[in-house]
Amino acid sequence: MNNTIKRGLIALLFICLYTFNTQAQTINDSKFGKGLRFVAADSSFSFQLGTRFQLLYQGGQTPATDEWDDRFLIRRARLKFDGFAFSPRLVYKIELGLSNSDIGSDIPNQTNNADNIILDAVAKWEVAPNLHLWVGQTKLPGNRERVISSQKLQFVDRSLLNSRFNLDRDAGLQLHHEHQLGQVVLREIGSISMGEGRDITVNNSGGYNYTGRFEILPFGEFEGGGDYVSSDIEREQTPKLSLAASYDYNDNAARDQAQLGDFLSATRNLRTWFVDAMFKYRGFSAMGEYANRKAPDGSVVLRDELGGVAETFVTGTALNLQAGYLMPSNWEVAGRYTDYTPTAETGLRNQEQYTLGVSRYIVGHSLKVQSDVSLIQEAGRDDRTQFRLQFELAL
């Protein structure tokens, strides 16, 4: 991180602390895991500051050497600011990523050679009851697992389906609508964005990105927004189910994973489908997702002199199924199966993963220890195992 950004963050934190000290009488609703919140004396705005980090140990057996390779790292370190401005109908969220994994950027020409620290910078305006307009950079309404916060996952990290096909974050406009028919809740989301991911500073090299999502909750809303929280932390007393489908069209995508990955020498139209579901009841939770991405004009952009694939878009299909049970003692055991099948012409390898996870929730998802072990089977390679242990603290 460059010195200018470091100095800016330090100054911002000092301003926040000074404000809290001089306006202490306005602080309210502060408790562990919910950040520090205050409201202006005239109720013209509110401000909430939160922070969290994940310490990860990761190790695995290398088939070629039969040796155990491992590492410790700060997987994520985040600062989050949110609240309302002028009216409770206009809320905002700013989230900054501070770890190397958050900041790392291999596209300096597209990010003005700057650290890529801004994750979210979005304003949400309630245009009418149950109708909200979002403006700024944030997660697109793609697969459920991606929209779920990395703080609130059932396993140490997201699945292979997500790493290959998620839409990630982008800058643009989103329209969110919700209505109810009896106990049935229906949600519709539409989005228009740049199509090239977060913090891109150069001119749009392709077309725009268009995303639509529809959700139905036949048994009503989940407690605590649990349809976007992994594990049944709220222990639903009646069965709850959410079914959803998303469609994304990226016009002349320039990066090999649409909003993520390398910029390639040519563009392609990318079409992505997601279907997903979440079920919870009395500590049991299950989630399933299917993804399908196609490039109608062909995935491969460039071949080398020997006819091999030098540049290609990541297309194909993936399936992710996972389930877990949260015991009264707040220990959880969960299992996950993921299958990734790339389009044959890409030259990428089929892969299957079997994962067993054990977690201990001390204060929900705000203070927890998670571990998982995975068997990874990849076409043309020896099977390998991976073990991960992660500590999460959110204030």
Bridge partners, residue 121, by sequence: 94, 137
Q: Show the tokens assigned to 151.
A: 């703080």
**Pair 265, 302: CB distance under 8 Å:** yes
Given a cut of 90, whether residue 16 has pLDDT beyond it is no
Given a cut of 70, whether residue 11 has pLDDT beyond it is no
> Given pLDDT bands bounded at 50, 70 and 90, which one contains residue 14?
low
d(CA 138, CA 144): 14
Given a cut of 90, whether residue 22 has pLDDT beyond it is no
Given a cut of 90, whether residue 357 has pLDDT beyond it is yes
Over residues 165-201, the pLDDT tens digits come to: 999 999 999 999 999 999 999 999 999 999 999 888 7
Tell me if residue 35 falls in helix, strand or coil: coil
Given a cut of 90, whether residue 3 has pLDDT beyond it is no
Over residues 223-271, the pLDDT tens digits come to: 999 999 999 999 999 999 999 999 999 999 999 999 999 999 999 999 9
Chain mean pLDDT for the chain:
91
Rounded to an integer, the average pLDDT of 6-10 is: 58
Bridge partners, residue 18, by sequence: none
Given a cut of 90, whether residue 202 has pLDDT beyond it is no
d(CA 202, CA 114): 12
pTM: 0.91
> Given pLDDT bands bounded at 50, 70 and 90, which one contains residue 28?
low
Please tell me the predicted confidence (pLDDT) of residue 10: 57
Superfamily grouping for domain 42-394: Porin (2.40.160.10)
Over residues 258-313, the pLDDT tens digits come to: 999 999 999 999 999 999 999 999 999 999 999 999 999 999 999 998 889 999 99
**Pair 255, 206: CB distance under 8 Å:** no
Instruction: Tell the burial category of 171 from Cβ atoms under 10 Å away from its Cβ (0-12, 13-18, 19+).
Output: buried
User: Cα angle at 149 between 170 and 391, to 5 degrees?
Assistant: 130
Rounded to the nearest 10 degrees, how much is the dihedral formed by the CA atoms of 127, 130, 135, 139? Answer: 180
Please tell me the predicted confidence (pLDDT) of residue 24: 43
**Pair 339, 319: CB distance under 8 Å:** yes
Rounded to an integer, the average pLDDT of 370-391 is: 96
Contacts (Cβ under 8 Å, ≥6 apart) of 334: 154, 155, 231, 322, 323, 324, 325, 356, 357, 358, 359
Helix (H) or strand (E) holding 341: strand 331-342
Measure CA 313 to chain center. Answer: 21
> Given pLDDT bands bounded at 50, 70 and 90, which one contains residue 65?
confident
Structural domain boundaries in the chain: 42-394
Of 341, 351, 353, 342, nearest in space to 378 by CA:
351
% of the chain residues with pLDDT over 70? 90
Rounded to an integer, the average pLDDT of 23-50 is: 78
d(CA 45, CA 18): 17
